Structure 1
Amino acid sequence: MPTAADQIDALLPQTQCTRCGYPDCHAYAQAIADGQSDINRCPPGGTEGMRRIAALTGRPALPLDENCGIEGPLTVAVIDEAWCIGCTLCIKACPVDCIVGTHKQMHTVIDAQCTGCELCLPACPVDCISLEVVTPGRTGWQAWTVTQAAEARTRYLDRNQRRSGADVRHAEQLDLKARHKLEHLDALTLHTEVPGEIERKRSVIEAVLARSRSQRATKP
């Protein structure tokens, strides 16, 4: 049975742009369901999206909150390949993994998957990314479809799952290295003549392992 937050989330465009002030569309939906946020903070969904949420929740329709931005046409990011330095910062910022490239190699945007979230713009250190309007004269849900929103949600969730898995693998590798150092501390420690040096390093490594265990325990 879908929760209230799930039902509201289904009415959001899934651009994951964070303009509403929340880290993603579902977090905003949860805040609305909990009565902690107004329903008019989603510029990509526009007035129509806000009206749909109002109809679902029974809350009054409001003008869009311009502090979150204004309703506009769908845009896609375009990378100026001549200026791209291959830093990968835009790839890390993209919530739907629609930017392709690798370190020190030119990047490009998969237009059909771009949600126009704009999060890559401030991430680029050489300002080589611009926005191109692809739905002139059409805004909000007139410029975006339920199918596109569903596909964007799937890419966002898949991206988070991949990155979460990578984080776990990285933490496990760090744990192995830390345990190895702990088991061979006497042989690996320089300056053993310094009083308390081995015990100091032992306490540092044990603290790292404890912090790693704590962080993994809090992950869903």
Structure 2
Amino acid sequence: MTPTARLAEAIDAALPQTQCTRCGFPDCRAYAQAIAEDGAAINQCPPGGAQGIVRLARLTGRPVAPLNPANGFEGPRQLAVIDEAWCIGCTLCLKACPVDCIVGGPKQMHTVIDEQCTGCELCIPVCPVDCISLVGVTGTRTGWDAWSEKDAAAARGRYAFHRMRLERDQVESEERLAAKAQAALEDLPGTSRLTDPQALDHKRAVIEAALARSRERKSAR
């Protein structure tokens, strides 16, 4: 492992793992890599707060700086709460939650597993009926006083499982589409609705291109 990679690992371990994206990156790991590899500022993590900036300053050897207000403000840990009377079961919040702490099914009431919620706020903007709100749960405690290493480790594990589940679902979806395309390709010679050879060749080319793209994605993974 290169020194830069080791630094990225250390920085990622020092982040709260709320996966809130307020730092301007898609997750905590991406922010850690940007700090280590591209020199991104160390004062862009509101959940970590002032204590988090001190942690990153120690790791990087950079000076401590105030939290950048463009990324948000330090505050107590918050918990997402769903007004179950207004929930329409659209499942959009389930898809938005990076740690899979919202449970429910299509057209059924959803609820939040309190102890697993990181307060990332990502479920708020996707709700079409505005039935999700945030409540403070740590009083005046903010930053790492409102969070813990145990909380961060648990959130990291749930986020890793969330990503693995999404990748698995994507692979299964591509395999189903590829199977359908293969079946359609095999049925072409007996198709009675398409008798024009050029039309048959075009359809065959389209299906074969779709299969090729699927194989390329599998190879890339």
- TM range, smaller chain: over 0.9
Matched, 1:182 2:191: no
| Equivalent residues in 2 for 1:164-183, closer than 5 Å | 164-183=167-186
Q: Which amino acid is 2:126 matched to? A: A
Q: CA RMSD in A?
A: 1.3
Residue deviations 1:77-126 (CA, integer Å, cap 9, x gap): 00011111101000000000000001111000000000000000011111
* Structure 2 unaligned blocks of 5 or more: none
Of stretches 127-136 and 208-217 in structure 1, the one that deviates more from structure 2 is 208-217
Instruction: Tell me, yes or no, if the aligned pair for 2:7 and 2:59 is still in contact at 8 Å.
Output: no
In structure 1, the residue matched to 2:63 is: 60
Instruction: Calculate percent identity across the aligned residue pairs.
Output: 60
Matched, 1:119 2:122: yes
The alpha carbon displacement at 1:183 in A equals 1.2
TM-score of the superposed pair, with normalisation by structure 2: 0.95
Matched, 1:147 2:150: yes
CA distance in 1, matches of 2:8, 2:101: 26
In structure 1, the residue matched to 2:83 is: 80
CA distance in 1, matches of 2:106, 2:90: 6
Matched, 1:200 2:202: yes
TM-score of the superposed pair, with normalisation by structure 1: 0.95
In structure 1, the residue matched to 2:218 is: 216
Instruction: Tell me, yes or no, if the aligned pair for 1:44 and 1:71 is still in contact at 8 Å.
Output: yes
Q: Which amino acid is 1:215 matched to? A: R
Q: Which of 73, 83, 86 is equivalent to 1:70?
A: 73
Q: Which amino acid is 2:210 matched to? A: V
* Structure 1 unaligned blocks of 5 or more: none
Matched, 1:157 2:160: yes
**188 and 74 in structure 1: CA distance in 2 versus 1, 3 angstrom threshold:** farther
Q: Which amino acid is 1:214 matched to? A: E
